[in-house]
Amino acid sequence: MKFSVVWMDRESAHIFHLSNDQMERKKVTVSHHEHHTHKRDQFDVAREEPRLFKEVVAELKDSDRLLVVGPGVAKHHFHAYLNEHQPFFGKKVVGIETVDHPTDNQIAAMARKFLEKVSA
């Protein structure tokens, strides 16, 4: 069984694949070309989110269960995207949690604890 944790905000996603005692990490970032005077607004985010989500889904192709975490609303937008566009993956989400900016080791510990909880 491959368990994955996706930590995301509106600009990037950190994907952690956990299997046995190993953890593999991948970062996906939305590359946006912006002029130095252009600040990102909700319209930029709305255009960029689907691209980010598609790239994240591509990295999750071998995952059996997903835990989606992050500090803001991007995790909820991602879950809604999965349910609408990738229902196969939407069914794999076992939890959505609010966390700030944990370290890799904190993510791994949280994932293992969460996996034990949902497996019990």
Kindly tell me if the per-residue pLDDT of 15 is higher than 90. Answer: yes
Range of the domain at 92: 3-30+41-119
Cα–Cα distance for residue pair 81/83, rounded to 1 Å:
6
How many distinct structural domains can be found in the chain?
1
- The verdict on residue 25 lying in a domain is yes
User: What is the predicted pLDDT for the residue at 108?
Assistant: 81
Kindly tell me if the per-residue pLDDT of 80 is higher than 60. Answer: yes
Average pLDDT, stretch 83-89?
92
Which backbone phi and psi does 32 adopt, to 5 degrees?
A: -120, 140
The answer, as to whether pTM is greater than 0.85, is: no
Cα–Cα distance for residue pair 12/73, rounded to 1 Å:
13
- The verdict on residue 36 lying in a domain is no
